[in-house]
Chain A
Amino acid sequence: MLNRSSTVAAAALACALTTIMLMAIGSVRAADGGKYPTNWKGQWTRVVHREVEVQGAFDQTKPWGLGQDAPLTPEYRKVLADSMADQATGGLGNYPTSRCLPSGMPRIMTFGTQEYVITPETTYILLSGSDHLRRIFTDGRDWPKNPQPTYGGYSIGRWIDADGDGRYGVLESETRYFKGPRAFDASGLPLAFDNQSVFKERFFIDKTNPDIIHDLTTVIDHALTRPWTSDRQYRRVSEQVVQWPETWCQEGNQNVLIGKENYLLRTDGLLMPAKKNQAPPDLRYFRQRQQ
């Protein structure tokens, strides 16, 4: 049985241990819940630079197409010039997304809204454009031996505690293994048709504005004479999102590609030329030829 002094001493010991216990619980929780950033929640959209005439380019601070000053090789500079010339006469140029094909990397990061869902094994970037989503694997895996090429690529990343505060603040990732063709923007600014691109990205929240996330992207691609880096930024629209948008390219898409020619579909379902004096589609396989 404890006497009074013993009881007081026991109470003091209990208080001390309770304090230690609470601190320990807190640290366990911090280690579990606070190791990964918790302030990336919500809905993000790309930062709009009002001074830029045409939005949606890889380098958000510059107009698309030639205005991007991309370090293209002469061969791919011609691809861009041809694409813009074709578009000027009603064609689609080198812009597969106008046919509702996926944009893939890096244009995938341009559309609509984004959500970052962080788990220890994977960071998911959920996109609201026609491109699906990105998985950046952070479980320590190595590159797969026979990956299936995709438009979004295969991404491996790692978290970094850049300022030593015990929390991860930066996600570094590398993305490889692509399908194509892909373009940086709607002008048809090309990536190399060999689909051998590599992307290195560094995601982090702005130090002075917690509602800006940076995606510092470096593209290594055979269409470029040197790696091309752009600081892509996204602004948090809302932390509590009531409803996420759903985007379907097919809705409202008027482009109909037949062979190498793009035509337009009228609202009454009839085909019309997209270019002046455009030849109609080849109907050789129809028994009942148009009169």
Chain B
Amino acid sequence: MDRNSAGAVAVALAAALTMTVGGAAAADDAKYPNWKGQWVPVHAPGAAAQSFDPTKPGGPGQQAPLTPEYQKILEDSMAVQANGGLGNDPTAQCYAAGMPRMMAYQAQEYVVTPEVTYILLGGDDNLRRIFTDGRDWPEKINPTYQGYSIGHWVDTNGSGTYDVLEAETRGPFKGPRAYDPTGLPLHFDNQSAFKERFFIDKADPNLLHDVITVFDHALARPWTVDKTFRRNADAQPDWPESYCHVTNDRIVLGNETYRLNEEGILTPTRKDEPPPDLRYFKPAPK
């Protein structure tokens, strides 16, 4: 081999070496998208803070395609709430929100690994795991409020980087669950299924979409909503810690809801509400 030839081979191989090393590192780092940071739910003006469809007001304003039976449950829930009760809102008693309401809480973080995408939430429902390791649905799933999620990454534009996470979440769920604080109900059979498509907005790298379709027997047809989340510009934000029991002042005894005042004394939540039944207490000495 003459000097020139050897030099050419060496240069070519060195170039290949450099490209391949770079490629290997790039493939590892860039195969999955950069969804780092804190994401805060976006709500249209006038929309309720924890509504499922963030572009519309809560309750009837959501225009959920409820069956007549579940439309009545919503109406009854709101009537009870108007009278001081909790209605069909189990979260008001510090029960889990579950899917899909857990995706309405104040701050989210997406931790993407090849096997699992973790969605860390700032509410009492504190995290979701979306398994992306190619697993099949397990034969037996224990009921949970959040369900069991399997997903897969998609490179929609052939760029070599995944840009869409598609996920399906199945039950059996625990319940009852409501979409929002009005008590907008999911079916009490807890057989919901959710299909989601997570992706960054094409025009805004700081806007994340979670397009959710709900399949539920309380609905006359599948209900699809585009929930969006904005990335906090602060790279080191406070991560809120929210515990329902720390601030909850409501107590449910039997079918009645009471409230604790600042002194810790029980008070009614509606006019002429009967006091709790204290038959198990000895009468006070006269």
A-side residues, CB < 8 A to B, are 2-3, 5-10, 13-14, 17-18, 20-21, 24-25, 28-29, 32-33, 99-102, 117, 119, 121, 124, 126, 130, 132-133, 135, 137, 141, 144, 147-148, 150-152, 179, 242-246, 248-251, 256-260, 265-266, 268-273, 277-290
Contact = CB atoms under 8 A, between A and B. Distances in A.
A7 to B, nearest CB: 7
A29 B24 contact: yes
A7 B21 contact: no
Contacts of B241: 102, 132, 148, 150-152, 179
B272 interface: yes
Contacts of B282: 277
Contact of A126 (B118, B244, B263, B265): B118
21 contacts: A2-B2, A3-B1, A6-B2, A13-B6, A13-B9, A14-B13, A24-B21, A101-B246, A117-B111, A246-B174, A248-B95, A250-B95, A257-B264, A269-B255, A270-B279, A271-B281, A277-B282, A279-B281, A279-B284, A281-B276, A283-B278
A246 B145 contact: yes
Given A244-B129, A288-B272, A10 B9 contact: yes
B127 A133 contact: yes
Given A21-B16, A258-B266, A7 B1 contact: yes
B221 interface: no
Contacts of A273: 280-281
B126 interface: yes
Interface string B125-160: 011010000000010011011101000000000000
B276 A99 contact: no
Interface residues of B, number: 71
A271 B16 contact: no
B268 interface: yes
B17 interface: yes
B114 to A, nearest CB: 11
Contacts of B21: 21, 24-25, 28
Contacts, number: 187
Nearest to A99: B245
A242 B6 contact: no
Contact of A280 (B148, B236, B281): B281
The 5 closest A-B pairs by CB, nearest first: A6-B1, A269-B254, A259-B264, A132-B126, A9-B1
A17 B13 contact: yes
- Describe A's contact surface by its main secondary structure: loop
Contacts of B94: 100, 250
Contacts of A250: 93-96, 244-245
A147 B239 CA distance: 10
A14 B13 CA distance: 7
A162 to B, nearest CB: 25
A240 to B, nearest CB: 9
Given A17-B10, A141-B236, A283-B266, A25 B24 contact: yes
A179 B144 CA distance: 29
A259 B118 CA distance: 39
Given A21-B16, A25-B20, A117-B111, A289 B275 contact: yes
Nearest to B98: A246
A133 B126 contact: yes
